[in-house]
Structures are given as structure tokens and as C-alpha cells.
Chains A and B, each alone.
Chain A
Amino acid sequence: MASITFENVGKNYEDVSVIKSLNLEIQDKEFMVLVGPSGCGKSTTLRMIAGLEEITDGKLYIGDRVVNNIHPKDRDVAMVFQSYALYPHMSVFENIAFGLRLRKMPKDEIDRLVNEAAETLGLTPLLDRKPKALSGGQRQRVALGRAIVRKPSVFLFDEPLSNLDAELRVHMRAEIANLQKRLGITSVYVTHDQVEAMTMGDRIAVLHDGNLRQVGTPLDLYDTPQNVFVAQFIGTPNMNILTFKVSDDGSELVHPDLTFKTPAEWKDGIIERKGKNVVVGIRPEHIASSDEQDWTNTAPLKGKVEIIETLGHEVVVHIKMPNEEKKILAKMDVHKVPKVGEEVALEVNVDRLHVFDAETTNRL
């Protein structure tokens, strides 16, 4: 069993706190993605698991063993893709086996482990080939073979795809995610790319300024972000964030350009904030032309189209509302795009809105 548990773990560099009392449990066999902007502490968190960073406070467990003072070699973890150069004169078998040979493992054992890894990766028919006779994808699989042949308890991936072309990156995302499922080895994957996080992880931990802002499944994060940071970080394009005033009786939320009735499930939180401001999040995909949607609970919105960004099958329209400084973004069908400068009448799907406290920025 290789669960990973952070219990009030902190990391300081001199006076600077880069991880603040982190509590996180990664379950056995889980694929956990750590995501966040540059400097959020995600790589530091991964490296604490690897033993490359010393832990200042708290306890870190791998399985039921506290590993704070355990040497990296003795943690039974494997960093994947530290180097993916293959050795040209060695066969696929030798390229996978060389790490075991260095550990002076008996030959029979090496044969068994390499054959097993090759089977898992679909490389068995290629074991005698040299790297130059392999396709790009096959080479990447051989590189993966080097990591899995050791049979570690935990895989750690530190932005492994950051230097790959878009096409190979998409291919390798799927390859890694599938392999992890087949092997059932606990994996922690660091990326700054929320699309990568959303497509790969069983669960995602969002970090910001050394704090864990939310952990959950990709759908949890998308549907119920627990704070404005997560709401804006997850989803492309970013969620629109607007400030609304709660009416004096709490029945409506009012913005100079958009007003809607308080949804029933918000009532408790809104009643406490009568006459005060709240922050409302609207995903661009929940704004549509009045005649192009079949939502049951909508609120009207008007504005002028300022910019149109084409993203293949869909477009993102930047709209200026009469009284709001910020432009709002709406995702629209590529075949039904208004023109720049056009005044448009839109509807907002009220059932899919998100509301946050104006001061704490936490979800109500």
C-alpha cells in the first residue's frame, strides 16, 4: 500500500514560507495532479515526497511510514522522465534493463522484470530493436519502461511533457494516464497546465501561494469551485467574475447590467448578506445568444462585441457591457458568431452560476 499523507507539512526557505501547513491524503493507486501557477509550491510538494526537499514542519507519510528523514533512495519512489534519451547501441531490452544492471540485480530477475514491463507497454515484439528503428511514441514508451521496471511504490512526474510538441504531448498524456490505470501505482503529477490536470488526474489539488486551495475530482473543481481562485484557474477561458449587490430583502442579486432572482440553493448564504456585495462567477459557456439556448432559468444581458477569438470549433467573444469595466467572455458556436461592433442580446444560465463571499472569496 502506498498512500501519501501530508500532515500539517510546512516548508520554509529561511524566513520565506513556501508551503503552509499542508494537509492532503493521496490514496493508494490514485493519480493525483498538483496544479497551480508558477511559484505556488507544487514542485516543492512533489520534491518533498521524493526527498529532495527537507520538510520544515509536520509529517509526511508514504504508506504508514513517516519519511521526513528517509533518504530519497530508500523511499521507493521513481521520478519519471528525468532523462528520456535512449542509448543508440543498446537494444530496447538493454535500454530498459540498464538501471537494474547497475544495481547488480541477478540476470534472471532482470529478464523477468524487463519482459513484464515490455508486456505492459506493448513492447515485447520490439525488445531486440535498436532505438533508431522505433517511432517517436515507441521511444517514449521505452523511456517509461525504464521507470516502471523498478516497480516503485510511487511515480512522481514533474512537468514531464513541458518540452514536447503539442501533438506528442497530447499523445503522451493519454499514454501515461492509461499506463497508470493499468499498473495501479500511486502517482503524483505536477503541471501548471490546467487542461493537462483536468484530462489526467483522478483528483486534482490546486495550490496557490503555498496553500492548498481545493482538492477534488476534475468535475468537482469545475462544477463547485470552493473559492474564486480555483473558479478562475480551472476552465478555459477563465470564468467571468462580477460583483453583485444583494437586494435589501435578499430576493435578487443586482448588477447594473444583469439582475437575477436568488436561486433557492443560495438562499441561506445570501440572506446573511442582505444589502451587501457578493462575487458571482459565470463560465463563458454559460452565456449564449437569446435564441440559441434552451436553459430553463436565465437572465438577460446586453453588450457590444469587441473581440472575437477563433479556437477551432468554437469562438470566444469578448463583450463590453454598458456599465461594467471588465469585458465578459462568452463561448459560442463557430457558425453563429456575431460581428465585431455588433450589439448582442444574450442569456446567462442562472442555474450554473457560482457565488462567493466578497471578502473571503470563498464559495457560499
Chain B
Amino acid sequence: MKIQIASPSHYITDLRYPWSKHLTQWPPELFVEVARGIHRNVVRFVSHNNQVYALKELMTPVARKEYKLLRELQELGLPVVEAVGLVTNRDEDVAEARARFDLVGEPVDMANRGLLVTHYLDGALPYRIIIQQGISAEQLSQMLDALAELLVRLHLSGFYWGDCSLSNTLFRRDAGLMAAYLVDAETGEMRDKLSEGRREYDLELAETNIGGELMDLEAAGTLPKGQDPIDLAQALVERYSKLWAELTQDEVFDPEDQYLMEQRIRRLNDLGFDVEEMEITTVDNGQRVRMVPRVVEHWHHRRRLNSLTGLQVQENQARRLLNDLSRYKAHLSEVDGRDIPEPVAAYRWLSEVFNPTIEPIPADMKGKLDDAEIFHEILEHRWYLSEASGKDVGQKAAIDSYINTVLKRRQAGDVEIDTDPFVSSQK
């Protein structure tokens, strides 16, 4: 038997597990129950050193391919589950390891069987759980936005998914919006550049899969009332196409209208993308110029916030934090009577706003929320409190109220964070 481990932070090499046996034969006490979607392969979850891992049964070549692809996507900084290990050669004799267990079920031929190990994405939920818990039309729309954006990012990186669906995605809260993560790359392929045919076919598959999944929810009676699965699936295609066009279409304009180029770059940045290169060619005998942006998928806001503050957060969280940082910079400039350089404002925002907001939050009350998400929720809470009282209540009052109301209710189980996966947003 051979275990390959990708990440030094995940040494899931515990030989006490019966790796040489099919997951259906492992004793049930080895597994933990977590929120999970529908899988066409056998998938189980184990807990090891306070981390949860998903184990997926596949034939070895398929497992090896998916392991490699997930690692490649991760290295590109794309939102995917972390592949931490691959177990192969499971039919070799490891009698000692399996002798410890009372195996269950029918024996399975283990020739050429592999096991893919991924790190369970904390705080991320499958679409069925989110929707079954009750979801508004707006929130459903946010999920589809997130998935359309994920597919665009993957395509820009040359990745053909081959099975884009809600089932193959996990969703995580991201500053009042949703972020989508790819969890299944079995059918995927990485290319230098995706052909138009592949890209369009991938989108067609996405439409078919998502339509089917939403029809299934409709059949189960859990789709929000008034929502049509066919319209929703088509809406995803429209969102994708709009975003793709904005990111990749060329534009022709008069040479003196340079500001149009800057506007375009700003629009792309606002969408979270960077322009790596701009190709300008003359057309109409030099009367006009054509601009073709070469867009890279890297998260613009996330990288910018990281370079200013060192914070590692998700894209929408970064967008939100950068807005707050800008607001604070304006405030500092006004107080000091001079323009404050951005790095200085960022340092002061971190030490005077962000850290003092997070520090009072007791660690045991944070639950699955990371600091950036808590910061976002406090900003939201402050906005609601201020709306209710007709004046700005200030950050300290907002923090105290957030701890004593929102977090305490959650801790007491009055409001489960997972049963309320979306925090109300002022957006």
C-alpha cells in the first residue's frame, strides 16, 4: 500500500485505518457525520487530529488524476477543496492493519482501487443543506452568482470541469454573499487555454446539471416558492455569459478617449479580476484603437488587502474590509488635515479598527466564523443598530451588542449558524 501526502499540515497516515479495505467495509465507528451532499461515489468522513477529512473511493487512475488536478488548481489559487492525500496499491498485503477491525459488508475486489483524501472545508455547506434549511430567492440568486463566477475563474485558468453542478460545489459565506468551491474534479482537464467548444459545452453541462438538481429540489418541495428550475438554470448561463463577456470582449474606441480604457480596467477590478496585459491595436486606418484585456483570475481585492495588511481572507470579505479601510483613511485624512498614504492608513486601520474589533470576541463564541466574517457581521450589526436608533451607535456599542445578542443566541442554540447560513445583509 502507498500513501501520498500533499500537505505537511495534514499527516493523515494513520495505519490503524483499514486502508486496504473498501470504505463500505470500514466499521461505522471510524466515521463522523458532517453536512454532505449527494455523491455518485462512495464518500465517508473521518476525524483525525481535530480535522475532518473526506475519503472518496475511486479507481486508481481516476483518483490519481483528480488528486493531481485538485493540487494544480490549488496552486493556481483557485477556490477548490484541498487534496491532502492519495492511497493506492490497496490490494497489497497489509493484514496487520486490517486485522484490528471488525469489518462489515461484502468484500470488494480491491485491485486498482484508490482512495482520495481531501480536507473538509470548514464552514462550507452543500447546496441541499442550505436550501433545505430555507433560503430566500435573493440568497438562491447569490449562490448561482457564486457558481457562475467560479466557472468563469476556472475557465480563465484553462480548466475544463466536465461536470459543473451544484452537487460538485460547496458554498461558504463570504461577507454577506456566497463563495463557491469546487469539490469534484473527476471529469476535469487542465489546458493552457480552453477551446470555445469546450467552454460552451462545459456551460451547457452546467445548465443541464443545475436544472436537474433544482427540479429535484422542486420535487422534494424545498425549492423557494415561485422559483422555476428552468429559469434559474438559464439565469446561471446568462450570468456566466455576461461576466465572461465583460472579462474577455475587446472594445474599439477613439484614441483620445483614454479614460474609457481606465474605466474598463476599473470595472474589471471591481469584479475582482486583475488585468495582466492590455493589447492595443489600431483599426480603421489608425482612426480608432482596439483594446483586448488579458484578464487573470487572481482575486484583485484579496491580493490588495493582503499586500496592505497581511490579512488572508476571501474575495468579498476583502472587498468589504477594503471599503472600511477606505472609509477610515478618509476619516484619518480629515482629522489630520492632510492626505494619509494608503500603507499608513492600512497599518492604523488594522491596529485601531480591525484588531480592537476582533479581540473582545471570546474564542469559544466564534464557532465556525473566521475573523474577517465576524468583522463583516459586526459592521452589519452596527448598521442595523444605527438604523434602528436613527444615529450611528459606534463600533464599541456594536461589538458589545453583537456579543450579547447575536453570538450568545447562537451559542445557546436559539439560532444555529448552520440553520441560518446567510447573515442578513444591507446589500
Contact = CB atoms under 8 A, between A and B. Distances in A.
Interface of A: 13-14, 47, 50-54, 71-73, 82-85, 87-90, 94, 98-99, 101-102, 104, 162-167
B224 interface: no
Given A71-B200, A166-B111, A98 B195 contact: no
Given A85-B167, A163-B41, A52 B215 contact: no
Contacts of A166: 109, 111
Contacts of B205: 82-83
Contact of A89 (B162, B186, B208, B219): B219
Interface in B17-51: 38-41
24 contacts: A47-B197, A52-B197, A52-B201, A53-B195, A53-B198, A54-B196, A72-B197, A72-B200, A72-B201, A72-B204, A83-B163, A83-B165, A87-B212, A87-B216, A89-B217, A90-B215, A94-B215, A101-B215, A101-B230, A102-B211, A102-B230, A102-B233, A104-B230, A166-B109
B40 A83 contact: yes
B36 to A, nearest CB: 13
B310 interface: no
B132 to A, nearest CB: 11
Contact of B219 (A50, A53, A72, A87): A87
Interface string B199-240: 011001101110111011101100000000010010000000
A83 B209 CA distance: 8
Contacts of B104: none
Given A104-B230, A162-B61, A166-B111, A52 B195 contact: yes
Contacts of B196: 54
B161 to A, nearest CB: 10
B397 interface: no
A98 B210 CA distance: 11
A52 B109 contact: no
Given A83-B187, A90-B216, A99-B212, 12 more contacts: A53-B195, A71-B197, A72-B200, A73-B204, A82-B205, A87-B216, A88-B38, A89-B216, A101-B230, A104-B230, A162-B61, A165-B108
Contact of A87 (B59, B108, B215): B215
B399 to A, nearest CB: 44
How would you classify the secondary structure of chain B's contact residues: helix, strand, loop or mixed?
helix
A165 B60 CA distance: 11
Contact of B109 (A71, A83, A89, A165): A165
A183 to B, nearest CB: 21
A102 B109 CA distance: 39
B163 A82 contact: yes
Contacts of B217: 89
B62 A162 contact: yes
B38 A85 contact: yes
B201 A89 contact: no
Contacts of A47: 197-198
A223 B211 CA distance: 49
B201 A51 contact: yes
Contacts of B186: 163
A102 B207 contact: yes
Q: Kindly state the interface size class of chain B when it binds its partner.
A: 35 or more
B58 interface: yes
Majority secondary structure of chain A interface residues (helix, strand, loop or mixed)? loop
Contacts of A13: 192
B219 A94 contact: yes
A10 B40 CA distance: 36
Contacts of B165: 83
A295 B349 CA distance: 91
Nearest to B65: A162
Given A87-B216, A165-B108, A51 B197 contact: yes
Contacts of A88: 38, 216
A163 B62 contact: yes
Interface in B96-111: 108-109, 111
Contacts of A101: 211, 215, 230
Contacts of A163: 41, 58-59, 62, 186
Contacts of B61: 162
B233 to A, nearest CB: 6
A73 B200 contact: yes
Interface in B297-320: none
A73 B237 CA distance: 15
A92 B217 CA distance: 15
A256 to B, nearest CB: 38
Contacts of B230: 101-102, 104
B235 to A, nearest CB: 13
B213 A87 contact: yes
A117 B201 CA distance: 24
Interface string B278-299: 0000000000000000000000
Nearest to A143: B40
Nearest to A54: B195
A164 B62 CA distance: 10
Contact of A98 (B40, B108, B211): B211
Contacts of B207: 102
A85 B163 CA distance: 11
Contacts of A162: 59, 61-62
A169 to B, nearest CB: 9
Contacts of A53: 195, 197-198
B59 A98 contact: no
B391 to A, nearest CB: 50
Contacts of B41: 163
A98 B212 CA distance: 6
Nearest to B210: A102
A13 B190 CA distance: 14
A166 B219 CA distance: 34
Interface in B109-154: 109, 111
Interface in B159-173: 162-163, 165, 167
A192 to B, nearest CB: 9
Nearest to B162: A82
Contacts of B200: 71-73
A281 to B, nearest CB: 28
A116 to B, nearest CB: 20
B151 to A, nearest CB: 15
B216 to A, nearest CB: 4
Q: Ordered nearest first, which 7 A-B pairs have the shortest CB separation?
A: A87-B216, A89-B220, A89-B219, A85-B40, A102-B211, A51-B197, A52-B198
A134 to B, nearest CB: 14
